[in-house]
Each structure stands twice: as structure tokens, then as C-alpha cells.
A and B are shown apart, each in its own frame.
Chain A
């Protein structure tokens, strides 16, 4: 970790010395262009610019859009309340596109973003981390689950960028406002340990790194908690699969007591409706999911949502009884009540709103838009006004210590769409030390 920091500052220093020719050339020849460009941008030199990158087309569109909506609501809220240090905030949100690294560079180098939020895929998050580091702008990840991106112990878990099995990928300017897979699976493992004990457990998840990681972490935490499950099946339908019945039947034929799943967005909808058709919810005692609890999933399923199963989530709108969450919900509803989306935020809403609002407080606290100042202020910063309750960004891992929610699907929840919601919500928190102890021997890092 220490060397990582060193390398970063070292690189920045060398850059200028190696480019002297070019920079001086630019200074001389480019002055005219610079003046012209300054004119184009409207001269609003003090505007705070936030760049966001989300999957707002294709498979995860509903998820990215809900993050985008929450971010825009936060920006609107900030501007209505005097901006940041009296300056207006502007947000540009772009789709990942086919080359997310380039989209991120464009957000900073063409749109002049001072701050970044986003990313709707762990894989993309890990792949673009060097680009984000190179740009040096503060980045808060709001939608990704991989524990690796907030794991700093390269000695214990290997450097992600230097080997094919490294699991520590933290970069100096990357933070995360959402709970990660390590935290989510702990919540589920703990719930099962407390309520069921050792069972016959089967797994189903999307066929990519996220699905595999969720299952690995769940098993590791269960073992750490001393619960001796029997793992009877594990199936990974491809991401975005339209037919999961072969895998559902394969799981059923192994007669599990519990089914652990890691589906999200469209895959959650597909799984729940097809599992219901195959009678899975009648044949097993309980079903769990990591991040499936989302208004878009419930409204798509309508009255076919299985009741009484346990879904976890990064954020569930009615899980937090505090004025900041209420302010977020009110703002969200006022902005999107007439739109063709559920008028309550999705499972990435709280942490996306929180990320933007955190930036506001941090910038006001340091009094400038200097990236390095913002980054060092963020390390260990506690954001008191987060919808999920006070949230602290760990100084070492950059992971926000926010609780995860685990609730029961129910039709008795007051939601602004036809469908189920989450009831009997429990919250789980865990520290790095506790996680280290539980994961000991698994080779998996806490990432927090």
C-alpha cells in the first residue's frame, strides 16, 4: 500500500520533467486555443463538475438509471441549497460505452470533471482502476461489489495488477460508498447461522466474477462462523440468461434446504419468476439473494413475487428511519413521480445520493477543488447525513462502513407500485478485524 502511494506521487513528478518539451511547446502555441476554449465553456470557472459513468443501456439499464436518478436528485438538492461553497454543481452522466476507460478519460479530460462517481460493474471497476489512478481525480464507486477494489493488503492477498490471482486492488483515489460483497455475504451467512444452523445449501448466481465471488465469500464466512453446511449444488446461468430452468431443476434435484443466490436486476426477475414456476419456493425452506431487492425487480414481478424469502440489499428505501433518508425520498419522489420509473430509489440510490452529498461536505471542509486535498480529507471522513445513517470512509481501505440490510419479501409494505417490498429488515455491520478472523484461512480479503 505504502509503495503504491509512493509510485503514484513519483509518477506525477516524473511526468512533468519528461514532458518539458511538449509542455513549453503547448504553452507557446496553444495560448490562443486555450483562450478560445475558455470562451466556449461559458467562463463558469468556479462550477463544480461531477462526472458519472453508469450502465444506462442494455442489460443493467434499470440499475444504472436508478443510480443516475439518485445522483441527479442529489445535484438538484445541492443547487437548491446554495451549491457547494456557493458554486453551482453540474453533472454529466455517460454510459459505460464499449470502452469505459475512455469514457472516464473523456469525463475528466474533455468535460473537465473535478469529481467522479459511478461504475455499474465490478469487472469494469477493476479494469479501469489504473485509468482512474492515472487521472488522479477523486472517485467514489457507488454500484460495485467486488471486495478487491477496497483491499489494500497486497502482501497477504497479492497485488491484483501484478498477478493473475492477486486480490488486493485498491488505488489511492478510489473510494466506495456502497457495502461490498464481503459485507453482504457476511450478513446472509450470519442470518443463516443465527436462524437455521447447518443446512443443505445450494448456490445459483450469474456466470461471472460477481456470482463466483459471492459464493466463495458466503462459504468462507459460514465456515468462519462455525456453521458446517453441506453444499449440495452450484449453478451459474449466464448473465442475462432468458432461461434458467435447467439450472433451477438441477438445483432442485439435489434437494437443498436453502438456496443462496447472487442475482441482480433483470436476472433476479428471471430467476424468481422461473423458480416460482418450477415450484422451488415451495420445496425449499428459504431462499436468499445478495442484491436482488430492488423496486424495478418487484414491480416487474408484480404479484408473482415469492413471499417470505430473504433478500439483502445495499439500500432499501424504507429501511432507515432518519430525516436524511426522508429528505432523499421526498426529493426523489418530487423529481421522478411523473416519470416512467418507480418513484422510490433503487438499491443503489442511498449510496449514490450519499456519495454526491459527501463530496459537497468534503469540498466545503477543504475549501478547494484540489484533488489531493479532497482525497486526504475523504480518508476517515464521516458523513453524518447519509440516508443509511452516519457513514465513515475507512482511512486505509477507502470502504464506507455502511450497514447492509436483509429483509423478508412481503406484500404488506407501502410501495408506490404494484408489487412486494421488504419487511422485518435487519441490519448487519462488521469490522475489518472481525472479518479477518472469520475469513482466516480462506485466502479471501475483507476488502473493508
Chain B
């Protein structure tokens, strides 16, 4: 049974079929799942974007960032500021009428990507000068710096010093809470983010998810992605081939940051609030864990990891005994995955198959 499955074209065909079936399932899912599961699925898909974007740097280029939470946080704050301040300031209400909530949200997403790209350019320029553990440490330092800036509301204090505002900008540890309400689009009305039942937001999410994953896929399959892998495998040799490693890593860092920003801008409205905790180092561990669980050497690994990670957590919450010690149960289950599945969850079917084959011999 192994021969046919191992041949390359069949796998390619299978992959395409799987992606098609997956997308179809995603479209049908909210009609079958309840409101709670629909929200959870939207969240998992956005974390999938986040982890895949992170993996551009980790799995493909060999740079372990321990500070990707900063992009998520910066994007989240940008979205919150757009909804609370920028949108009203630009008169979105009068300009777009019933569609103003939708317009504000789209504008917020674009701004979130732009701002994170700028942040990633600045931080990335410094970070890619280093490698390995030093790279992980410098990204961690930057995310903690952003955490402190948000938590101490340093921007607010500075603005007040300059005579603007009254000392609040990020609102310290409480962060910013906001909702995206009614949209009236040519007579069709819906709540953009209905927290109890995010049905509408789910469809916006899967549309953006599909486009983003396609873009990321094209990036890793392009010559650009191949250069990334070359850097991962052997920086010296890649350099000898004429590749400017620092520059290429920098561009990858910015791309990874920008897509992470998109994930942050997309997820924060669903959570209805952004706090400094997204820039705290512990949150930056989430895409790392998801990727390691799912498998960093496969394009869909981080996405599978995001699914496994969140649904495992959900599964634990359904059992009172496991939930009472959820950190312990979660850690134990993750440990099992890491110990027994060499290439992440995505590699598990293959591993089981080869194990079965070896027993058959």
C-alpha cells in the first residue's frame, strides 16, 4: 500500500484535493456547528495565519523569533485606535453611513498591516544582524519593550507632556476594549462582530484566511522561499552563492511581521479588547508551540498545530477533572505529542504508516 502513496504526483494531487475539501468544510462548518464552535474555529484559523507567518522565519529561514507577539499587539492596538479614535476623527460615520463599521474595520486592517510592517522593518533591521539564540533573545527583548510601553502607557505620558491628550493612549494594563456593531450594506443588515454568535465575522475571516494562506504558499514556493531554505540549511554556502543573507532575512522578517500583524488585526475585534499581554513574552510562545506541535518543515504544519493546540485546550475544558489542573493536563498532552511524533502532528499519519509497515515486515 505504501508505493502509490509515496510517489510525488499522487501526493500533490492529494494535497490539492485536501485543500479543496478543507475549504468546503470551512464554508459549511458554521451551519452545522453552534455559535460557540464557530467562534472557536474563526479564532483557530486566525492563529493558523499567525503561526504560518511565524514559520516563514522559523521553519523556512531557521530564525526562531521569540517576540512575534509584538506584531500581534501592535496590530491590535492599531485596530483599537482606528475604531475608537481614527475612524471617528476622519468622519467615517458620515462618509460611509450604514457601512461605516465595515469601512472602519477594513481601514483598521490595512493600517494594522502598515504599522506592523514599519515596526518589523525597524526591529528586523537590528534583529537579523544576529543569529540563533541571540536572535531569539533580541526579539524577546523588543517584545518586552513594547509590553512595557503599552503597560506603562508611555505614549500617553509623552503625548501629555507635549500638550496632547490627558495621559492615556494604550490605557495601561486594562488595555482598550471596543466592539464592532451594526452594518447596513445596501439594506442588508448584520452585526460585524456579534460576540455571542460571530457568524458574519466568520465568513470575513475565512475569506481573508484563504487569500492569506494562498499568498504565503506562493511565497514559500517561490525562488524567494527557496533562498530562505538555503539560508536555513547552510548560511555560509548560501552566502557563497551570492545571497545577501542579512538583507534576505530582513525582508523575510518584515513579511512575517506583516502577516502576523494581519492576524492580530483580524483576531482582536473578535476578542473585543487588546491588552499589553499580547506583547508579553508568554504570548510569543504560542506560535512557537503551535508550529513545533504541527511540524515546522511543512507548509501546513503550523496550521495543523494551531488546530491541535486550541482544540486540545478546548477538549480539556470539557472535563472537570482535567480542567481543574488544565495547565498540567495541557503540558502532559503536549509532551506526548513532542516525544512521540517526530515531525509534528502533520507528520503523524506518515509515521504511523511506516510504523505499521515495519511491523508488517
Contact = CB atoms under 8 A, between A and B. Distances in A.
The finding on whether chains A and B are genuine partners in a shared complex, rather than unrelated, reads: yes
Interface of A: 7, 10-11, 14-15, 17-19, 22, 25-26, 29-30, 56-57, 92, 94-95, 97, 99, 101-103, 105-106, 108-110, 122-123, 126-127, 129-131, 134-136, 160-165, 169, 208-209, 212
Given A94-B323, A130-B179, A162 B31 contact: no
A108 B197 CA distance: 12
Given A109-B35, A122-B174, A123-B173, 13 more contacts: A10-B182, A11-B191, A22-B30, A25-B31, A95-B323, A99-B271, A109-B34, A126-B177, A127-B174, A160-B177, A164-B168, A208-B173, A212-B172
A29 B173 contact: no
A127 B197 CA distance: 18
B332 to A, nearest CB: 15
B85 A19 contact: no
B200 interface: yes
B245 interface: no
A209 B172 CA distance: 7
B311 to A, nearest CB: 13
Nearest to B184: A14
Interface string B167-200: 1111111111111011000000111001111011
A105 B178 CA distance: 17
B326 A105 contact: no
Interface of B: 30-32, 34-36, 39-40, 43, 81, 84-85, 151, 156, 165-179, 181-182, 189-191, 194-197, 199-200, 271-273, 275, 313, 317-318, 320, 323-324, 326-327
Nearest to A30: B32
A123 B85 CA distance: 21
Contacts of B178: 161-162
Contacts of A17: 189
B257 to A, nearest CB: 23
Contacts of B85: 163-164
Contacts of B320: 92
The 10 A-B pairs of least Cβ separation, nearest first, read A134-B195, A208-B173, A109-B36, A127-B273, A134-B196, A165-B168, A18-B190, A164-B168, A130-B272, A209-B174
B195 A131 contact: yes
B116 to A, nearest CB: 20
B32 A29 contact: yes
B181 A130 contact: no
A212 B152 CA distance: 11
A18 B196 contact: no
A208 B172 contact: yes
A254 B324 CA distance: 46
A101 B181 CA distance: 18
B88 to A, nearest CB: 8
B167 to A, nearest CB: 8
A164 B182 contact: no
A165 B255 CA distance: 34
Contact of B177 (A99, A129, A135): A129
B178 to A, nearest CB: 6
Contact of A15 (B34, B81, B191): B191
Contacts of A22: 30-31, 199
A122 B169 CA distance: 19
A25 B29 CA distance: 12
Contacts of B168: 164-165
Nearest to A148: B174
A164 B171 contact: yes
A102 B40 contact: yes
A164 B175 CA distance: 8
B173 A164 contact: no
Contact of A209 (B173, B189, B324): B173
Contacts of B43: 102
24 contacts: A11-B181, A11-B194, A14-B182, A17-B189, A18-B191, A22-B30, A26-B31, A30-B32, A57-B327, A99-B271, A101-B195, A105-B195, A105-B196, A110-B36, A123-B173, A123-B275, A130-B273, A131-B195, A161-B179, A164-B171, A165-B166, A169-B177, A208-B151, A209-B172
